[in-house]
Structures are given as C-alpha cells and as structure tokens.
Amino acid sequence: MIDLLIAFEDETPLAAPLADALGCPLGWIGCHRFPDGESKLSLPSELPPRVAVLRGLHQPNQKLAELMIVAPAARELGARQLTLVSPYLAYMRQDMAFNPGEAVSQRHVGSALASWFDHVITVDPHLHRVTTMDEVLPGKRGQALSAAPLLGAWAAAHAHNPILLGPDDEAAQWVRAAARAQGLQHGTCIKHRSGDRDVQVQLPPIDFAGRNIVLIDDVASTGRTLLVAAQALLAQGARAVDVAVTHALFVDDAIEQLRAVGVRNVWSSDSVPHASNVVSLVPLLAAALRSSAD
C-alpha cells in the first residue's frame, strides 16, 4: 500500500478522490514560479517510505522540469519507493526518427522518467510502433492501464446500440477493447494526413445509415481527425455521432469545431481536466497503485 500521495494543487480534482480510494494521506507540492520562469518547489518536510506522485503531463515542458526536481527531493526527504502516476504521458507519439537528426522523444523522456522513479503508471499511452511500456521505460518500470472498457461502457449506456468507430488504424486497439467489453459492432477508418490539420478519412465498409456512432480514440488534440470522420459519417446518414476519448486535450477551438459539424456529445475520462470529463479513472489508478506497492 502507498503510504502517502503527493500532488500539485492543480491536480486536486483527481488527487483528493484517489487518496480517499487508497485510504492514504494526501500531501501537497507547493510551487512558486518566479518571473523568469523558474519554479521553487516545497514538499512535505518528512516523507514515508512509499510515496506516489500524481502529475499528468498535458502541457508537459514545465511539468517535466519540476518532476526532475521533485523526484530526488522526495528521496532526500525519506521516500524509498517512488511511483509516478501520470494519467496522460506526453511525448509518446515521436517513437522513431522520420528525418535525419530528429530526436526520438519517446525514448528520451521515457529514460528520464525511469531514472527518476521506481515505477510509472499511465493510461492509454500513445504507442504505435512500440508495443510495450518496457520499451519506453527501461527496467520494467512502466505500467499502462486502459480506459477503453470504461469508455465503451459509457457509450453503450448513453448511445442506443452504437457502432464504435476508430478514426484511424492507431485507434484500433482502443476500439476493440471498448467494443469487446460491451459486445458492440466496431470498425476503424483509414487516415491520410498531410499536416497537423490537413487530414482525410476513409470510412470502413459498414452501413452507418440510421445508426448511432461513437468515435473512440486515446487522445484528441486539434480534433481534426474526429471532425473529418464525423462529417463523413453524417454524410452517409448516421443518426448521431458522439466522441469518446481518454485524453481530452482539445486545443484552441477544437470542441467548438466538432459541435459545428454536428457532433452531439463529447465524452472523456478525467485523465486531463476538461468540461467533457464523465469517466473517473480513480478505481483504475487505485487498483494499480495497490498492486504496485505489494
């Protein structure tokens, strides 16, 4: 069992119920940011042996720098087993060098986290060509959970007999898991991307006319792929299109654009704080923390 969960104050919506589920105290990491961008961090003055740090890595750059300080500071203050709970793990999409000189950020960020923490727990990391967390975090330090069955259950309860659809082949693993748990029909699209916001989507050979469709994905950033898929589905006569994602980044006006093309509902887990959060990851994270501390 974890002796103490510590978190930054902006993690309160997830930290408080997670500590309650674990039955452990909740401590806070104080953060003062100087005008030049540096951070002064304050941890509880004495830490027990088994400590978990909750820090999601959306908007990651400053947070990674702060974790680089938090981890050794926690060990100096008494932590012997240090676990990072990062529901959204950033820098996972760049898993190979596509052009000469490109840094493989997945590998380097993973190595850094593995050197700072004894164990890293995350949810639906964006792994494509890399298949296991062991390849991301050396030393068997990583554990990947999935919110897909939870999203599938929500979709089944709130969209009558839906077809679950992945907007691209990378989403196939999450769509299968979500559909399998509920016995729902499912499929995936084929995506052709020419730029960050220049996307074309080819629908699978399924009759969508008159059906409720739920687009399932791990992460939504610009939302462009979801938008194009929704337009194509509605053009083929879909009764309604909803969106369910694990990580609701939704930068700029992505939500407004989805609404504008006719998306009915947008649902997400609480891995990233967002107005669309409807699925709690607390039971999933608490179970993983209990087993990791055994």
Residue 197: per-residue pLDDT: 60
Domain 148-270 part of CATH 3.40.50.2020: yes
Strands 26-33 and 39-42: antiparallel
Residue 170: per-residue pLDDT: 84
Strands 142-145 and 163-166: unpaired
Residue 239: per-residue pLDDT: 97
Rounded Cα gap, residues 239 and 244, in angstroms: 17
Rounded Cα gap, residues 282 and 285, in angstroms: 5
Residue 151: per-residue pLDDT: 96
Do the domains 148-270 and 4-146+280-292 match in fold?
A: yes
- Please tell me the chain's helix, strand, coil percentages from 3-state DSSP, rounded to the nearest 5: 35, 25, 40
Weakly modelled stretches of the chain, pLDDT under 50: none
For 134-176, what is the HEC assignment? HHCCCCCCEEEECCHHHHHHHHHHHCCCCEEEECCHHHHHHHH
Residue 117: per-residue pLDDT: 97
Q: What backbone phi and psi angles, to 5 degrees, belong to 218?
A: -80, -45
Residue 123: per-residue pLDDT: 97
Residue 292: per-residue pLDDT: 76
Q: What is the DSSP letter of 251?
A: -
Whole-angstrom CA distances from 145 to 158, 207, 228 are 23, 32, 28
User: How many other β-carbons are positioned within 10 Å of the β-carbon of residue 234?
Assistant: 17
Domain positions in the chain: 4-146+280-292, 148-270
Q: 3.40.1190.20, 3.90.850.10, 3.40.50.2020, 2.30.140.10: which CATH number matches 4-146+280-292?
A: 3.40.50.2020
